[in-house]
Amino acid sequence: MGNVLIFVEHAEGHVRTASLPAVTFGKQAASHHGGQLYLLLVGANVKSAAAEAAQLGAAGVLTVEDAGLGHYLAETYAPLVARVAKDKGATLVGGTATNLGKDLLPRVTALLDAGMASDVSAVLGAKQFKRPMQAGNVLTQIEVLTDVVVASVRQTEFAPAQPGGAAAPIEAVPAGALDAKGAAFVSLSTTKSERPELTDAKVVVSGGRGMREGANFKPLEEIADLLGGAMGASRAACDAGMVPNDLQVGQTGKVVAPQLYIAVAISGAIQHLAGMKGSKVIVAINKDPEAPIFQVADYGLVGTWEKSLPELKAEIEKRKAEQR
Amino acid sequence: MKILTTLKRIPDPEQKLKFKGSGPSQTLDLSGANWVPNQFDEYAVEAALRLTENASAGNARLGEVIVASIGPKDVSQQLRAALAMGADRAILVDGKDEDLDAEMVARTIVALVQREKPDLLLMGKLAADSEDNQAGQLAAAYLGWPQATFAATIEAVEGGKALHVSREVDNGVETKRVALPAVVTVDLRIILPQAVKNGTTKPDFAYAEGPRYASLKGIMAAKKKPIEETTMQALGVQSKLRVKTTALEAPPPRKAGIKVGSVAELVDKLKNEAKVL
C-alpha cells in the first residue's frame, strides 16, 4: 500500500475552502492505503497558503513554485502532479471536483496510467467508492482496478478539514521545465462578491426562470444578505443572462448542500435538483402548485415572488429585531 | 477545419429511472428507456457546424465534421439525426455502455483521432448519465494535445491556427488559447447566438439559439451520408476496464414536506421547527 496525495487549490495566499473536504477525504483514504497523507500546492507564490495547509493534519506539504505557474493550466499542472505522486509513492491522488479539479484530475489519471473515480461521495475501501450519477438519481458503488487510483471528491459530502495540531513540514519541489503544449492563459473575468462562496454558504437563496430579468434578483439578494447567505440560480436563469453563470446550481453548475436552500420561481428540473437535493432544509416559493420543486421541498409556499419576497424580508427582519 | 465530434446516446434524463433486481444484484432497467442524444454532445455538433460553415454566405461548407459514437446499432438513429443537422459523415463503433469506462471510450476516441487526423476534437463536457467528465481530458493527455474544457465560447484566431476558448471556471469565465490540434469540451452556453466565431462568418452574425433543427433537405441528404460501422478491435484499441460498477441503488427519498399557508407560517417553521434561522 502507499501514500495519498491531495491537490490543494489556493487563491490570494489562502487555501480555498473548496479544497478542505478533499483533505478530509485524503485522511480517510490514507487509512485504507496504510500510508501517509501529503498535500500539494502549485503556483507562482504558494508560501502563505502552504503554511495554512500545513495546519490541516497531513504528514507533509509539498510545494511547486514557479513564475510560469501563476495561472492554472491543465497542461503544465498535470505533469507536476503526476511526477510528485510518483516521487512520493502515492497510490491515491485526489482533489475536490471543482471545475479546476474536473479539468485537471483526468489528465493526471492518464499520465499515471491510472483509473479515476469521479465525484466521490463516500470512501468504502482503498479502491472502492460511492458516487452519484444520472443527476443524483442513482448511487453507485465502484471499484478502481488499477494500482494507482485518482479520485475527485464531491465537496458537499466530506466535512471541511480543520486546522489544529502540529504544523507539518513543508518541502519545496522544483518545477523543472514547463511545457504548455500550445496552451496559454489569456484572461479571467471574475464576478467579485462580498457574499460567502456558493459552495460553502450556510444559506443559499436561488432564483429561476420565473424571475424574468436580472433586476428582479434584487429582493433575493436582500434576503441572502439578511441571512448571510450566497446567491444561486437555476440554469434557465443563467442561460437567459439574468445572472452570471457561476451562480448556477445543478448538474451543470455547482453542487450545494447548505443548511437552508430557498428556491424562488424555480420549477425544479431534474438537473437543478441534482445540485441542491442534499440541502438540509429546502424551501420552495413558486406560483405553480404543481411545480416539481415542491416534491423535494420541506416547506412549500404557493405564491408569486413579487408578493412573497417583500413579505419574507419583512418577516425575517421582524424576527431578527425580536431576538435583539 | 476538420473536426471530430462525439455523440453518446443516454436514457432521457426527464424519464424516471427504473431499477430491477434487489440487493447487490440490483441494476438499472433500461428496457423501456427512451434514448436521446446527450445534450452536451448535441451542442458540440452544433458548435462544430458553426466552426465549419460560412453563415454569412448560405452556410457554405468550410470544413468537415465527423460524428462518432460508441454503442449498439440503434445509435445510428442519433447519428443520422446529427447528419441531418449537417455533419458530413458518421462512425459507429460497436460497444455496450455497461462494458465500457471513460478510459476505454477515451482510447477509442484516440484511435479515431489517429486515423482521421482532425484539427479539433470537439466533445460535450460530460455525459449526463454516467457523469464521469473524463473522456475528453483523458484523450487530450493521451494525444499530448492542449485541452479547453467547459467551453462557453470558441473563436478561431491566428488565421485558424489556434482557438480562444472562454471557459466556465469556478470564479468566473477564463479565456484560454489552445493551438490546434486541440481538444475542446463544450458547456451549455456554446449554443448562444454569438458563441462561436470561425473567422469567416461575419463576426456580428447571430445564430438562432440552440442546436439547429434538421431541415427537410438535411434529412433527405442525411439518408445518403455514410455511417461507417467498426469495432474497437478493428481500430486497434487495446484497453481494459479500469473502473467497475459493483452495485447501484436509488438514493434514499427525501421525506415528504408540507405546504405552508403564509410567509409568517414559513418563517415560524424555519425558526422553531427546522431551526435554521
State whether A299 and B270 contact (CB < 8 Å).
yes
Instruction: Give A29's pLDDT tier (boundaries 50, 70, 90).
Output: very high
Q: Which of B164, B242, B274 sits opposite A146 (nearest CB)?
A: B242
A15 CA: distance to closest CA in chain B (Å): 14
State whether A98 and B257 contact (CB < 8 Å).
no
Residue A160: what pLDDT? 95
Q: Which of B168, B243, B263 sits opposite A116 (nearest CB)?
A: B243
Residue A96: what pLDDT? 98
Q: Is residue A302 pLDDT above 90, yes or no?
A: yes
Q: Is residue A245 pLDDT above 90, yes or no?
A: no
What SS3 class is residue B186?
strand
Task: Please give the grid coordinates belonging to residue A18.
Answer: 473548496
Instruction: Give B138's pLDDT tier (boundaries 50, 70, 90).
Output: very high
A48 CA: distance to closest CA in chain B (Å): 21
Percent of chain B with pLDDT over 90: 90
Judge contact between B9 and B75, C-beta under 8 A.
yes
Q: Which of B144, B174, B248 sits opposite A139 (nearest CB)?
A: B248
**Chain A residues close to B251, C-beta within 8 Å:** 132, 136-139, 277
A42 CA: distance to closest CA in chain B (Å): 17
Q: Is residue B25 pLDDT above 90, yes or no?
A: no
Interface test with B, best of A146, A188, A248 (most B CBs within 10 A): A188
Residue A165: what pLDDT? 79
Q: Is residue A321 pLDDT above 90, yes or no?
A: no
Give all strands (DSSP E) within B7-63, no chain letters.
Answer: 9-11, 18-20, 27-29, 35-37, 53-54, 60-61
Instruction: Give A293's pLDDT tier (boundaries 50, 70, 90).
Output: very high
Distance of CA A133 to the CA centre of its chain: 17
State whether B174 and A74 contact (CB < 8 Å).
no
Q: Is residue A85 pLDDT above 90, yes or no?
A: yes
Instruction: Give A191's pLDDT tier (boundaries 50, 70, 90).
Output: confident
Instruction: Give A174's pLDDT tier (boundaries 50, 70, 90).
Output: very high
Residue A295: what pLDDT? 93
Instruction: Give B256's pLDDT tier (boundaries 50, 70, 90).
Output: confident
pLDDT per position as a tens digit, B157-173: 999 999 999 998 988 89
Q: Is residue B259 pLDDT above 90, yes or no?
A: yes
State whether B128 and A311 contact (CB < 8 Å).
no
**Chain B residues close to A139, C-beta within 8 Å:** 248-251
Q: Which of B128, B141, B262 sits opposite A111 (nearest CB)?
A: B141
Is A250 in CB contact (< 8 Å) with chain B? no
Instruction: Give B260's pLDDT tier (boundaries 50, 70, 90).
Output: very high
Instruction: Give A173's pLDDT tier (boundaries 50, 70, 90).
Output: very high
- Scanning the structure block, which residue is given the C-alpha cell 459552495? A199
Instruction: Give A220's pLDDT tier (boundaries 50, 70, 90).
Output: very high
A163 CA: distance to closest CA in chain B (Å): 24
Is A288 in CB contact (< 8 Å) with chain B? no
Instruction: Give B22's pLDDT tier (boundaries 50, 70, 90).
Output: confident
Residue A266: what pLDDT? 97
State whether A181 and B138 contact (CB < 8 Å).
no
Q: Is residue B239 pLDDT above 90, yes or no?
A: no
Q: Is residue B98 pLDDT above 90, yes or no?
A: no
Instruction: Give B255's pLDDT tier (boundaries 50, 70, 90).
Output: confident
A123 CA: distance to closest CA in chain B (Å): 14
B175 CA: distance to closest CA in chain A (Å): 5
Q: Is residue A134 pLDDT above 80, yes or no?
A: yes
What is the pLDDT averaged over residues A115-128?
98
State whether A106 and B258 contact (CB < 8 Å).
no
The dihedral built from the CA positions of residue B6, B121, B151 and A67, taken in this order, carries a sign that is positive
pLDDT per position as a tens digit, B54-94: 999 999 999 999 999 999 999 999 999 999 999 999 999 99
What is the pLDDT averaged over residues A200-210?
95
Q: Which of A132, A246, A298 sits opposite B171 (nearest CB)?
A: A246
Residue B213: what pLDDT? 95
